[in-house]
Amino acid sequence: MEEVTNVTEYQEIAKQKLPKMVYDYYASGAEDQWTLAENRNAFSRILFRPRILIDVSKIDMTTTVLGFKISMPIMIAPTAMQKMAHPEGEYATARAASAAGTIMTLSSWATSSVEEVASTGPGIRFFQLYVYKDRNVVAQLVRRAERAGFKAIALTVDTPRLGRREADIKNRFVLPPFLTLKNFEGLDLGKMDQANDSGLASYVAGQIDRTLSWKDVQWLQTITSMPILVKGVLTAEDARLAVQAGAAGIIVSNHGARQLDYVPATISALEEVVKGAQGRIPVFLDGGVRRGTDVFKALALGASGIFIGRPVVFSLAAEGEAGVKKVLQMLRDEFELTMALSGCRSLKEITRNHIVTDWDTPRAALPAPRL
């Protein structure tokens, strides 16, 4: 096998290695998959305005997220059921994130429990939360995550119902029999029944609370001292409401284009959300990041950091822990190179003027500077 030289190459390797039902579950988006393609395509329409002749011999990519120092603004998004990709699943991902000095977000629907992931050793970890109809289950899970040393909750807010993912319907997707949703094992919520459509869609319809609203964001703050990131915001209006509800941060996300199709790419929605947050809380981006150039573009548009999802499960399928480490290293190296070639030595030097987007006022239309 030849050497992997970029993040995208892991997808084809994963496709060859994984059972079709599993690969399709990870790879597909909702309905026509327009947003799935757009999450990538929108990045390609943003161009650089690099600044030259700046001493870039030393480049600092470190940052802090909710007060936690990390090595780079590249973090791991929550992705479900990682043991379908590799037997070590979330254990491998946790070790790779820790080795890279960055944050891992563990999915509620992980195939390893919060306690198991905590047992892999030190590391800054966030916990992604789905709110179940039974609030006692939610309260118990949040308490367990907090006890296990998790530092924040990423509350997914774009999934009152599961999006229509046609590959999962065709494949009658169900969690393989030897796996369970480990966080719910003792609560009889760890198994997914075979259904006439997607087993996961049926599970969500039965268990996840469709009444979830802003008041529940406030309720969560009464049961935990962990800060809450609201994941799944795409508009300035909701950014303002997130601030008002006491959120500690926002993750601009369209759920990897798996929920509502024909929403904009996250990179296209980012600037609006950043403006809505008015600098009061940090805004992060998730969706479509495959290159260091993508990371730079997100930061130039106001993101405090980004999260990667599919690259983690595809590299995990291909090479386990080593694959996830390599993805993080490649993105880090590419991002460092992009900073150097753009004339930025630290994250604070990355500005809106370093990029040009198709929604910018053409610069020629601005008054010419006097010479």
User: 314: which residues sit within 8 A by CB, 6+ positions away?
Assistant: 10, 11, 13, 14, 26, 85, 323
- Residue 64 host element (H or E): strand 63-65
By three-state DSSP, how is residue 252 classified? strand
**Packed helices 9-17 and 20-27: angle between N→C axes, nearest 10 degrees:** 150
Strand partners, 173: none
Catalytic-role residue among 40, 255, 326, 354: 255
- Residue by residue, DSSP assigns 65-130 as ETTEEESSSEEEPP-S-GGGT-TTHHHHHHHHHHHHT--EEE-TT-SS-HHHHHTT-S--EEEEE-
**Packed helices 292-300 and 34-44: angle between N→C axes, nearest 10 degrees:** 80
255 part of the active site: yes
| Cβ contact 150:197 at 8 Å | no
Sign, CA dihedral 258-259-265-267, equals: negative
User: 178: which residues sit within 8 A by CB, 6+ positions away?
Assistant: none
Tell me which residues are annotated as active site. 255
